[in-house]
A and B are shown apart, each in its own frame.
Chain A
Amino acid sequence: MVRSAPLSSSYTSRPLRNPAPSELPPSARTIRNAARRIPQSSRSPVAIPLRGRSLRSTLKPMPDRMPLPVWLRALKKIENLSVLVAFSLVGSAVLTYGWAVYSQQLWGKNYSRLETLRRDERQLLKGSELMKNNIARHNDPKQYGLVPRSSEHIVIMPPAPLRPPLSTGNIGPESKTKPIAPIGY
């Protein structure tokens, strides 16, 4: 926002120095005392001395706020959590979208591959059957030394005589036979 202030200086020339305790409003005074009571290593940052100013002038941090009420703290926690959840959801949504697009592409590629394979199978089958027919139709088997199968090519074997069934031996419940176990282990 641009303030259209006239060029003539209307800044009040306030002195750039630490306000003396007496100049501060009463509430600030108690805060400052409170701030002094709180050890330096806690939340409030360290006073940073500014260059170009007097040694005594340091930039003091703003006085600490009041401790937050419980419900506000809980809400803040929920907000942090929901930020995490939101980011993870967005991430998974992006992943899912990517996977969906990829799987669709994969389906398309594999479907065309399936059609090609089916076509190849048909062609192969047709070719092999036509070749079989051609060979059988136009070739005299005698030129390859082949003769039609006849009873001369059959070997008749009488069936083996019936053998008595093998006795498996008596394995009763009180059998003393031990299973053969390797000794050396």
Chain B
Amino acid sequence: MVRPYPRRSIARQVVALPEAKPTLLRLRVVWMLLLVSCGLLSLNLMRLQVFQAADLLTRAKQQQTTLLKPFTPRRSVVDRNGNAIAMDEQVYTVFVHPRYFDKKSNQEVANLLAPLVNQNAADLQKKFDGSKTGIKLTDQLEENTAQRIKDLRIDGVDFIPASRRVYPQQDLLANITGYVDLAQKSQGGIETTYEQLLKPLEKSVRLNKTGSGSILPEGVPNGFVHQDDRRLQLTIDNRMQRAVQKIVDRQVATFKAKRGLVIVMDSEDGSILSMVNSPTFDPNEYWNVKDLAALKNWGLTDLYEPGSTFKPINVAIALEAGTVKLGDYFNDTGSITVGGWPINNSDNAARGSLSLTDIMRYSSNVGMVRIAQTMQPSVYYSWLERVGIGQYTGIDLPFEAQGYLKPRNVYMTSPIEAATTAFGQGFSMTPIQLAKLHSMLANGGKMVTPHVVKGLYDSQGRPFWEPKQSKPKQIFSPKNTKAILRMMEAVVDSGTGKAAQVPGFRVAGKTGTAQKAAEGGGGYSDSRFITSFVGIFPVDNPRYVVLSVLDEPQGQAYGGTTAAPIVSEVIKVVAGIEKVPPSKPDP
């Protein structure tokens, strides 16, 4: 039988559970606890927000932000054809702090780093043992090596970025570019004159970092990462410079001269195609220069008396002044006395009646004095000033020396001054000034400004800045310059400049052999000469001026024997590079 479910509910004993009686005391205690803890929290908040605020802010900035300073290199310099002459690269100074090596021992780190920085591992380890922080490992470390050290992932290695100027052509263009020293200060040359154009614009921005260290690019200004590829383009031709440097080095060694130089100038606009000094220096290691005098570009800085190379200018002045005609003849008596001072020809030969061409051909001092004496001293002096003697050439390289011309009253009172000026002594100029004067003869009488820089262009050739070139002043007339070039051609064909002949080209030139001022003052030295030769070619379409100067060549020291052969070789190089067609005779 199924027992039915008991329907009757059994009245059970009620077991009263202990009830927590809400009392006022308990409430108050809890409330007090909560209030006290709130108060403590707000006190702590005040401590953090008010008293430690500045300190915490700096610490937070240190941890959360990073300074993004991309490497902005100094603008590079390229030659006429785009070959790099000067460029900037990123280098690092590496500091090591052994305190943070952690798991790696000093010896381990020394062994890892030693081959990369070319130092002895044992020495490195000794250094690490010696100090806990701030050990300078190396500076001027290249980017690639720095990346390899970074890839080793050693804690405690600190990289400080810097930049370094590299000159890939080494000592080829040192006299033109100058150099930038290790403190990033420009010293001489293009680096100094165009410092404002070449200087990089340092930009940096402070950005936030995420917890994992990646950068949040908020607040990066527009155009921040953009770097333009503009570079300074020179008028110098690298190939010509290289070839001419070889020639000058060889000839300076052959004649045992103290130094030599060659300047090749395009007379059309005054751009300099090549400017070579021998000896020169390597701007990558400017501290290794043997002779400090090699640091200066003496084609600009040193004054010298031009001597016979000034004679064509003298003739041009006389022709322009109108006191001399092309068909005039002058009596060369071998020696002449002016104002009590005797003036001789260099070979003391008296040749009698000479035409202008012959005076040039034989480089007759007496003939030149007679030509100068046809002009009033005031007229002659004004012409000297107009031609630019005693002034700067305006070349865009620094440390140019100003030529020296005696003041006007001296010229007016002593006739000897005009006489000595006629054959190139008694005043001084720099070699670049002489090249500028002869470029006036080459381009039909216009005074152009010599310059080395073409402008600031980007890699596509678009110009961003070009030097202001004012319209050249017409000083001589083209008819006279053409005639003078024919006279100078006679010098090379049958005169003192025979060594400058170049087969296939008509070369006009003038030799110069000037005595240097005697040491200890008073007069000229008998044994120390500056020999020079200036050549203009091709005569049928004159364009290029080649000037070569040798300082104190030994032995038979004449312009025709020492400097003229240099010009001949240089003209061959220039004709090849500039694709000058063979010269045609006059119709």
Interface residues of A (CB under 8 A from B): 6-9, 104-105, 107-108, 111, 114-115, 118-119, 122-123, 125-126, 129-130, 132-133, 136-137, 148-151, 153-154, 156
Give complex CA distance A122, B505 in Å.
43
The answer on a CB contact under 8 Å between B575 and A150 is yes
User: How many residues in B have their beta carbons less than 8 Å from beta carbons of A?
Assistant: 39
Rounded to whole Å, the gap between the CB of A107 and the closest CB of chain B is: 4
B582 and A151 contacting across the interface, CB-CB below 8 Å: yes
The answer for the CA separation of A150 and B582 in the assembled complex, in Å, is: 10
In the complex, what distance in Å separates the CA atom of A129 from the CA atom of B173? 14
Chain B residues contacting A148 (CB-CB under 8 Å) are: 243, 572-573, 576
B572→A105 contact, CB < 8 A? no
**Which of B12, B227, B577 is within 8 Å of A8, CB to CB?**
B12
| Chain B contacts for A153, CB-based, 8 A | 576
Query: Given contacts A8-B12, A107-B217, A148-B576, is CB(A125)–CB(B84) below 8 Å?
Result: yes
Tell me, yes or no, whether B11 is within 8 Å of chain A by CB: yes
Q: How far is the CA of A105 from the CA of B212 in the complex (A)?
A: 11
For this complex, 28 residue pairs linking A to B, each with C-beta atoms less than 8 Å apart, are A7-B12, A9-B9, A104-B214, A108-B214, A108-B215, A108-B217, A111-B215, A111-B217, A115-B71, A119-B90, A122-B90, A123-B143, A126-B84, A126-B87, A126-B89, A129-B83, A129-B84, A129-B87, A129-B168, A130-B168, A132-B168, A136-B242, A149-B576, A149-B577, A150-B572, A151-B580, A154-B579, A154-B582
Q: How far is the CA of A114 from the CA of B169 in the complex (A)?
A: 28
Nearest CB on A from B15, distance (A):
9
Which residue in chain A gives the minimum CB-CB distance to B19? A4
Count A/B pairs, Cβ under 8 Å.
80
**Cα(A151)–Cα(B577), bound, Å:** 10
Of the candidates A111, A122, A137, A151, which one forms a contact with B576 in the assembled complex, judged by CB atoms under 8 Å apart? A151
Q: Specify the chain A residue showing the minimal Cβ separation from B582.
A: A151
- Residues of A contacting B215 in the complex (Cβ-Cβ under 8 angstroms): 107-108, 111
Proximity string of chain B (139-153) to chain A, C-beta cutoff 8 Å, 1 when within and 0 when not: 000011000000000
B contact residues around A125 at 8 Å (CB) = 84, 87
The A-contacting residues of B in range 144-181, CB under 8 angstroms, are 144, 166, 168-170, 172
In the complex, what distance in Å separates the CA atom of A5 from the CA atom of B88? 91
Q: Which residues in B have their C-beta under 8 angstroms from that of A119?
A: 90, 143
CB distance from A130 to the nearest CB of B (A): 5
**Chain A interface helix/strand/loop/mixed:** helix
Chain B nearest CB, measured from A16 CB (Å) = 15
Min C-beta distance of A49 to chain B, whole Å? 25
Q: Which of B84, B166, B217, B243 contacts A104 (CB 8 A)?
A: B217
CB-based contact A126/B581 at 8 Å: no
Q: A6-B14, A7-B12, A133-B169 are in contact. Are A151 and B575 (CB under 8 A)?
A: yes
Q: How far is the CA of A153 from the CA of B504 in the complex (A)?
A: 13
Which residues of the other chain, A, contact B217 by a CB distance below 8 angstroms? 104, 107-108, 111
Contact A114 B225 (CB under 8 A): yes
Give the chain A neighbours of B505 by CB distance below 8 A: 151
Minimum Cβ distance to chain A for residue B115 (Å): 20
Q: How far is the CA of A154 from the CA of B538 in the complex (A)?
A: 16
For B84, the closest partner residue in chain A by CB is A129
Q: CA A115 – CA B504 in complex, angstroms?
A: 54
List of A residues within 8 angstroms of B39 by Cβ:
none
Q: Which one of A107, A123, A154 contacts B581 once the chains associate, using CB atoms below 8 Å?
A: A154
B residues near A7, Cβ cutoff 8 Å:
12, 14
Asked whether any CB of chain A lies closer than 8 Å to the CB of B216, the reply is yes
Most buried by A among B12, B84, B580: B84
A156 to B541, CA, bound (A): 15
User: Which residues in B have their C-beta under 8 angstroms from that of A129?
Assistant: 83-84, 87, 168-169
Q: Which residue of B lies closest to A131 (CB)?
A: B168
> What's the least CB distance linking B318 to chain A, in Å?
36
Chain A residues contacting B218 (CB-CB under 8 Å) are: 104
Distance from B167 Cβ to chain A, minimum over Cβ atoms (Å):
9
In whole angstroms, how far apart are the Cα atoms of A14 and B214 in the complex?
74
- Given A8-B9, A151-B505, 7 additional A-B pairs, CB 8 A: A104-B216, A107-B215, A122-B143, A129-B168, A129-B169, A133-B170, A156-B581
Check if B352 is an interface residue, CB within 8 A of chain A. Answer: no
CA distance A154 to B576 in the complex (A): 9
B16 to chain A, nearest CB (A): 10
The 4 closest A-B pairs by CB, nearest first: A129-B168, A149-B576, A107-B217, A9-B9
Q: Does B461 contact A (CB under 8 A)?
A: no
* CA distance in complex: A7, B9 (Å): 9
Candidates B83, B166, B172, B575; contact of A126 at CB < 8 Å: B166
Give the nearest-CB partner of A132 in chain B: B83
